[in-house]
Amino acid sequence: MAREDYVHGYSIKEAKRLGDQAVTLAELLHYDSIFEPDSKILEAGCGIGAQTNILAGKNPQCNFLSIDISEKSLAQAKGSIEQAGFNNVKFAQADIFKMDLEPQSFDHIFVCFILEHLPNPEEALLILKKLIKPGGSITAIEGDHGSAYFYPNSSYAHQAIQCLIDLQAQAGGDALIGRRLYPLLTSCGFNNVTVTPRVVYADSSKSEMVEGFTKNTFNAMVEGIRNQAVRSGMIDQETFDKGVKDLYRAAELDGTFNYTFFKAVGVN
Ligand SMILES: C[S@@+](CC[C@H](N)C(=O)[O-])C[C@H]1O[C@@H](n2cnc3c(N)ncnc32)[C@H](O)[C@@H]1O
């Protein structure tokens, strides 16, 4: 089962985008994703296992339970973990809101790019909090589409990005959630909350960032909602296509692109 209103969908193209995103951002987002040996860690909303692979590889002495609502994504996640040869991850199909897990049974919980899709992220965080042992932690990573700026600037590109923000809001999510992580975690009762912005900056001297992030992650994400955006009447086809063209323009030799992710850690 999968959420019908999940804005990015579950296509092969989307799976590739999530994979590209994780590989390109691995160092930026995960240089400090190190947990003490023997930790029991729940990854909620693992998708196709893009982050799972990085976490499992960086923490070979920890045991992960990675869950997702989508059977299809889980099958891909299992396949890629097997292919990588990691044996420290178990997978289960589960809905965060209907999980049947022992309270206080995990040392740490990890969530990435999922709170932004939930109409009730506070509720999810409170459910997850109950599963963490006292003194354990939650790590949440989210983007914030309001943080995208680029050269050359383009009002068309900003309009296309706004469509993604609006569609996600219509589906009950919040594409601007990165800036909200601190208040979210503190209001849910987490202690010692620290949020670190992780800035992606791409220009043509960093070709792996231009390819892996600007083109294959961000622009692909905006392009992916073209039909939904045009069909909904929020934008006309020509304006949207100009916007996407201008986003690719920012990936050319003299273009630059900025985006900020936010990584929050809170203690239970
Ligand atoms: C954008 S993907 C992110 C996947 C992965 N964390 C990553 O960073 O690549 C969001 C995932 O959350 C899952 N999801 C959405 N609602 C869920 C819920 N209520 N319970 C469990 N998983 C959920 C979706 O199926 C999807 O795989």
| Residues of the domain holding 154 | 12-267
Q: For residue 13, what are its two tokens?
A: 């193209």
In a domain, 243, yes or no: yes
Q: What pLDDT score does 22 carry?
A: 77
- The CA dihedral of 250, 251, 255, 259, to the nearest 10 degrees, is 70
19 against 244, higher pLDDT: 244
In a domain, 122, yes or no: yes
The string of pLDDT tens digits covering residues 96-136 is: 999 999 999 999 999 999 999 999 999 999 999 999 999 99
In a domain, 20, yes or no: yes
Say yes or no to pLDDT of 255 above 50: yes
Q: Is the CB of 121 under 6 A from ligand 1?
A: no
SS3 for 199?
strand
Say yes or no to pLDDT of 24 above 50: yes
CATH of the domain at 118: 3.40.50.150
Sign of CA dihedral 165, 169, 172, 178: positive
CA distance 111 to 109: 7
In a domain, 3, yes or no: no
In a domain, 143, yes or no: yes
In a domain, 5, yes or no: no
- Sequence-ordered list of residues with C-beta below 8 angstroms from that of 37, at least 6 positions apart, any chain: 61, 62
In a domain, 102, yes or no: yes
Q: What pLDDT score does 6 carry?
A: 66
Residue 64 β-bridge partners: 41, 89
Q: Is the CB of 46 under 6 A from ligand 1?
A: yes
| Distance (Å) from CA 3 to ligand 1 centroid | 9
SS3 for 194?
strand
Counting the structural domains of the chain, the total is 1
In a domain, 29, yes or no: yes
